């Protein structure tokens, strides 16, 4: 094994240069210790590294900034981590077309700093978004509280460049917005957690930056009225960017952040935002307290919504909109100390809690059964590897599992790309 290890290290060093290869890096993923961390500088180098791994039967973990490598089911093997953090160029930006092509290691924040100079942006705020690479955000189709108003990465990726395990490269989609004929393979790669190919470049369509963004924090004596008000807003002609009920999130804010708070964000023209704020204020009678957050407060609040990571376990429910209040209450009753965020307009509830090791798998299975009874699903976003293995991150996906397996076999016949990570352990 040591000899093979040395051969892989030598071959990969000859591709990316010795300065960009770390042997025995201080890195464990679900208890596995990859022998090599390689940091290629181009799509061609990524493809060449993959070819070496395929020839030497080494399992490869694609990576960006390596902040969320513990996602998905525990890996079956991990020999080489291929981090694209040196690949951070904006390759092409065409403000007139609202499109841009970038290398996959570019962090979302750095990209938005460039596009905001042209008053454009990529409106995504997934967990960890301040440092996350665009390749990883697309690979995990990660979204946050902006999803209600702006959608998910799948809505913005119009083209991809990919490196495959046999060392070949391919492209899907293109650099213009209307270019899809036949199957839209972007949709397949986005959300495949790096188990089918490594994303080396992405082309995004962008949105114009709105004139104004305003956030209201609304509180009430009980949670029920908060859900009622949210439902009223969602049924109206208003177009909020986010409607989130938070439980026990508490960043340091000038304004008080009580146990339960309803956050509403409007991102639009001055006049449209003003009209919507007025509508909400007039609809919230004296039993509600409505606070218009300052820009700094709003930033702190939305950052906290994106990153509430202080607990050992975090699960994400996706349920029909009508089931959100009920499932929120059930999760809360099961874990009184939980921290939770319900994206009421998208039907997504994130719940974080600490659980004792003996019972946590049973607890997650019970929450998943509740979600299924309400017509929804539960995904484990964070948990120790043994819990993710036993409770299965995505649960039983039923009849789609054979289809997913046959796709994986076509794209990665030796099962070397993040083996075991995705749905049904593929």
Ligand X SMILES: Cc1cc2nc3c(=O)[nH]c(=O)nc-3n(C[C@H](O)[C@H](O)[C@H](O)COP(=O)(O)OP(=O)(O)OC[C@H]3O[C@@H](n4cnc5c(N)ncnc54)[C@H](O)[C@@H]3O)c2cc1C
Site residues (CB under 6 A) for ligand X? Answer: 61-69, 71, 84, 104, 126-129, 132-133, 135-137, 139-140, 142, 193-194, 198-199, 309, 314, 381, 418
Residue of 307, 330, 419, 312 whose CA lies nearest to 378: 330
Cα angle 338, 384, 302 (rounded to 5 degrees) comes to 45
d(CA 124, CA 128): 11
Q: Of 238 and 351, which CB lies nearer to ligand X in the complex structure?
A: 351
CB of 157 to ligand X, least distance (A): 12
DSSP state letters, 249-279: -----SS---SEEEEEEEEE-HHHHHHHHHH
Report the residue number, 132 or 338, with the smaller CB distance to ligand X: 132
Q: Least distance from C-beta 284 to ligand X, angstroms?
A: 31
CB 165 within 8 A of CB 134: no
Closer Cβ to ligand X, 43 or 374, answer by number: 43
Burial of 183 (C-beta count, 10 Å sphere; 0-12/13-18/19+): exposed
Q: Which two tokens stand for residue 200?
A: 């080396």
Minimum distance, C-beta of residue 39 to ligand X, in the bound complex (Å):
12
Shortest Å distance, C-beta 50 to ligand X: 11
Residue 36, SS3? strand
**What is the DSSP track for 333-356?**
HH-TT-EEEEETTTTEEEEEE---
* Nearer CB in complex with ligand X: 69/323: 69
- Residue 64 token pair: 């960006």
Radius of gyration for the chain, computed over Cα atoms and rounded to the nearest angstrom: 22
Confirm if 329 and 374 have CB atoms less than 8 A apart.
no
Residue 202 beta carbon to ligand X: minimum distance, rounded to whole angstroms: 9
Q: Is the CB of residue 364 less than 8 Å from the CB of residue 371?
A: no
If the CB atoms of residues 226 and 380 are measured against ligand X, the closer one turns out to be: 380
Q: If you ran DSSP here, which 8-state letter would residue 131 be given?
A: T
Structure letter (DSSP) for residue 403: H
Q: Return the number of the residue (168 or 322) whose C-beta is nearest ligand X.
A: 168
Strand partners of residue 313: 353
Could you tell me the smallest distance in angstroms from the CB atom of residue 337 to ligand X? 19
Give the shortest CB-110-to-ligand X separation in angstroms.
Answer: 12
Instruction: Pick the closer one to ligand X by CB: 279 or 394.
Output: 394
From the CB of 368, what's the least distance to ligand X, in Å?
A: 16
CB closer to ligand X, 146 vs 218: 146
């Amino acid at each position: 094994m040591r000899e093979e290890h040395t051969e892989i290290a030598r071959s990969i060093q000859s591709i990316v240069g010795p300065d960009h290869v770390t042997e025995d890096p201080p890195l464990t993923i679900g208890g596995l210790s990859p022998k090599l961390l390689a940091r290629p500088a181009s799509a061609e180098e990524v493809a060449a590294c993959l070819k070496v791994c395929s020839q030497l039967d080494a399992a490869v973990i694609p990576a960006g900034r390596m902040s969320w490598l513990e996602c998905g089911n525990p890996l079956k093997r991990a020999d080489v981590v291929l981090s694209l953090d040196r690949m951070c160029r904006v390759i092409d930006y065409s403000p007139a077309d609202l499109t841009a092509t970038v290398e996959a290691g570019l962090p979302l924040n750095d990209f938005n700093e460039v596009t905001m100079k042209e008053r454009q942006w990529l409106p995504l705020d997934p967990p960890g978004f301040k440092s996350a690479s665009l390749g990883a955000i697309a690979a995990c189709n990660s979204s946050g509280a902006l999803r209600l108003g702006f959608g998910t990465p799948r809505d913005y990726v119009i083209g991809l460049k990919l490196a495959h395990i046999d060392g070949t490269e391919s492209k899907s989609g293109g650099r213009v917005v209307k270019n899809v004929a036949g199957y839209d393979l972007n949709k397949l790669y986005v959300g495949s957690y790096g188990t089918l190919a490594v994303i080396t470049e992405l082309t995004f369509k962008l949105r114009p930056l709105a004139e104004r963004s305003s956030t209201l924090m609304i509180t009430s004596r009980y949670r029920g009225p908060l859900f009622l008000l949210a439902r009223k807003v969602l049924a109206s002609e208003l177009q909020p960017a986010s409607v989130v009920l938070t439980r026990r999130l508490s960043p340091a804010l000038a304004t008080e952040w009580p146990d339960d708070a309803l956050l509403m964000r409007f991102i639009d023209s001055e006049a449209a935002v003003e009209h919507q704020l007025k509508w909400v204020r007039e609809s919230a009678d004296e039993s509600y307290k409505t606070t218009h957050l300052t820009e700094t407060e709003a930033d702190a609040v939305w950052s906290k919504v994106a990153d509430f990571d202080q607990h050992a376990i975090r699960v994400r429910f996706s349920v029909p909109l009508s089931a959100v209040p009920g499932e929120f209450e059930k999760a809360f009753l099961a874990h009184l100390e939980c921290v939770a965020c319900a994206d009421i307009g998208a039907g997504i509830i994130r719940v974080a809690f600490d659980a004792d090791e003996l019972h946590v798998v049973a607890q997650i299975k019970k929450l998943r059964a509740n979600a299924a009874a309400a017509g929804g699903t539960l995904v484990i976003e964070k948990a120790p590897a043994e819990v993710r293995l036993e409770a299965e991150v995505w649960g039983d996906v039923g009849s789609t599992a054979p289809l997913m397996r046959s796709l994986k076999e076509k794209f990665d016949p030796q099962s070397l790309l993040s083996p075991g990570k995705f749905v049904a352990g593929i």
